[in-house]
Structure 1
Amino acid sequence: MAKKGFPGMGGAPNMNNMMKQVQKMQKDMEKTQAALEEKEVEASAGGGAITVKVSGKKEVISIEIKPEVVDPEDVEMLQDLIMAAVNEAMRGAEEMVSKEMGKVTGGMNIPGLF
């Protein structure tokens, strides 16, 4: 008599166990995503002249610019500093999200997940 289920998968009892694990992982991921939304990453450029905060949702929360860095004669430098700080904060947020979600997924890289 042939076994039910997929070859090498061990049949229905293991499939049920796998489904429970997937459901648990999904719940854990939802909790982690909610917690990440509350976290912030901060980065600065120009020796602290520009400070940017980004949420775990990868949204810019705030940009602080010290008055002494604002020079109407050199707007390009200010733009570069803002861009550098935003990019660094976004990288930090991405790293934070990947690290936290990696804990939930056991390090599995699931495309499009986060």
Structure 2
Amino acid sequence: MFENMDLSKMSEMISSVKEKVEAYESEVANKIYEAKAGGGMISVKINGNSEIQDIDIDDELLSDKQSLQILLISAVNDAIALANEEKKKGAAQAFGLGGLGGFGL
């Protein structure tokens, strides 16, 4: 099975994939994802590492603690889900689906 395999080329391929992964992770970490809740009364922005970068709350919600909590939780969860979905899509596009391309699988 491995008789005709050039291990030096495999090493180069692995290095190339590693570089692509590192570049992709860096790109994703700097990307900002935004989700809104309550018709835009709350906006949450997170980066690709799922770290909250900004929260904007409409002044009307400041007097309604329960609604504020519910909408804040919803917006944060939506932002995290959006970031995770975008990362999955981006990884699939960057590295291709349906096998390991350069490995001939």
TM-score (norm 1): 0.77
Cα RMSD after superposing both structures: 1.6
1:96 pairs with 2:89: no
| Runs of 5+ unmatched residues, structure 1 | 1-7, 109-114
Helix, strand or coil at the partner of 1:48: coil
Percent identity of paired positions between Structure 1 and Structure 2: 30
1:20 deviates by: 1.5
Task: State the match for 1:52 in structure 2.
Answer: 44
User: 4+ residue runs of structure 1 moved beyond 6 angstroms?
Assistant: none
Query: In structure 1, what is the Cα distance between the partners aligned to 2:47 and 2:29?
Result: 6
Counterpart of 1:66 in structure 2: which amino acid?
D
Partner of 1:42: 34
The answer on whether the counterparts of 1:25 and 1:104 sit within 8 Å (CA) in structure 2 is no
Q: Which structure shows the higher helix fraction?
A: 2
Distance 1:10 1:78 in 2: 64
In 2, the alpha carbon distance for the partners of 1:21 and 1:101 equals: 17
1:106 to 65, 88, 96: 96
Aligned length: 98
Residues 18-37 of structure 1: CA distance to partner in whole angstroms, max 9, x if unpaired?
22211101101111111112
